[in-house]
Amino acid sequence: MTVLLMPAWPSSAAAEESPPGANDFACEPSKAHPRPVVLVHGLGSSMSQNWAYHSPRLAGAGYCVFALTYGHDKRTMGWPIRPGGIIAMEESSKELKAFVNRVLRKTGARKIDLVGHSEGTVMPRYYLERRGGAKNVKRFVALTPLWRGTEFGGAAILRDFGAALGLSDALTETVAGFCASCPQFLRGSDYLNDLNADGEKVPGIRHTNIVTRYDELVIPFTSGLMSDGGKNIVIQDACPLNLSEHVVVARDPVVTQLFLNALDPRRAKPVEC
């Protein structure tokens, strides 16, 4: 099952390269932007691939920008291509916690802001809600999130049908053997049910959710609209002719302006379509 993948996987070496403008640990947060921004990539991607467009624009706006590649499966060690984010999200959240702690320690900042794309929206919730991360984060901007999961390819329906035949566990375990995080994205997964039991919004954090009507992987796209708080933005409400889908939001200047406005509402600028 290939859920929420970026279009091409980077080489192992490229996956460890920082995107332009990111990971200068000598960066000192300014008075205008006192919180570093940590970028969290999507499934199958890497920091360099997912954030090559947005990272330098964030840095150009005066932010200290940081990014990580997380979630490698140890079985892919030595492969020329190593997709990120494929281990269980509970495990990936440990990597995010360690990285955020390093950013705070190096920069001296009290809190960070998170910007995540795809898996980079739902994996951080485990860090925030189960690993004590909420106290370290002020704003969380989620690009193409899926708070209530996806019906991509009818996989959730197939899982539920399998349950009636006593095959659901076997199907899930087979998929998880290749990609432990993949079943966790599905509507009604144990992972999402656990996190959503207390609501979708994380108390104390200012959420902004940016979705696109043309999302072909988060189905329905409205899964990314928080039902209990936060600011929800549909790209096409701002720019009706914008055709960005799940992957292209990582390279869309409209999206850049939307999340720059979300990170600093006092200096928000009109979105140019």
pLDDT tens, position by position, 6-59? 334 344 444 478 999 999 999 999 999 999 999 999 999 999 999 999 999 999
Whether the per-residue pLDDT at 230 is higher than 80: the answer is: yes
Single-letter amino acid, residue 247: V
User: What is the mean pLDDT of the segment spanning 129-136?
Assistant: 98
Asked if 124 and 40 touch (Cβ cutoff 8 Å), the reply is yes
Residue 32 burial class via C-beta count within 10 angstroms: exposed 0-12, middle 13-18, buried 19 and up: exposed
- Please tell me whether residue 68 adopts helix, strand or coil conformation: strand
- Please tell me whether residue 25 adopts helix, strand or coil conformation: coil
pLDDT band of residue 83 (cuts 50, 70, 90) is confident
Higher pLDDT, 166 or 61: 61
User: What is the mean pLDDT of the segment spanning 131-136?
Assistant: 98
pLDDT band of residue 177 (cuts 50, 70, 90) is low
**Radius of gyration of the CA atoms of the chain, in A:** 18
Asked if 188 and 223 touch (Cβ cutoff 8 Å), the reply is no
Angstrom CA distances, 14 to 18, 80, 124, 203, 224, stand at 8, 10, 23, 36, 30
Percent of the chain whose pLDDT exceeds 70 = 83
Residue-level pLDDT at 53: 98
Residue-level pLDDT at 160: 39
Domain boundaries, the chain: 33-148+202-255
Whether the per-residue pLDDT at 109 is higher than 60: the answer is: yes
Residue-level pLDDT at 169: 52
pLDDT band of residue 155 (cuts 50, 70, 90) is very low
pLDDT band of residue 81 (cuts 50, 70, 90) is confident
Asked if 271 and 264 touch (Cβ cutoff 8 Å), the reply is no
pLDDT band of residue 82 (cuts 50, 70, 90) is confident
What value does the mean pLDDT of the chain take?
87
Higher pLDDT, 127 or 75: 127
Task: Spell out where the chain has E strands.
Answer: 37-40, 65-68, 112-117, 137-143, 206-211, 231-234
Q: Which two tokens stand for residue 144?
A: 């193409």
Residue-level pLDDT at 163: 40
Residue-level pLDDT at 143: 98
Residue-level pLDDT at 245: 96
Whether the per-residue pLDDT at 166 is higher than 80: the answer is: no
CATH of 33-148+202-255, one of 3.40.50.11890, 3.90.1300.10, 3.40.50.1820, 2.40.50.700: 3.40.50.1820
User: What is the mean pLDDT of the segment spanning 166-189?
Assistant: 68
Whether the per-residue pLDDT at 242 is higher than 70: the answer is: yes
Residue-level pLDDT at 173: 56
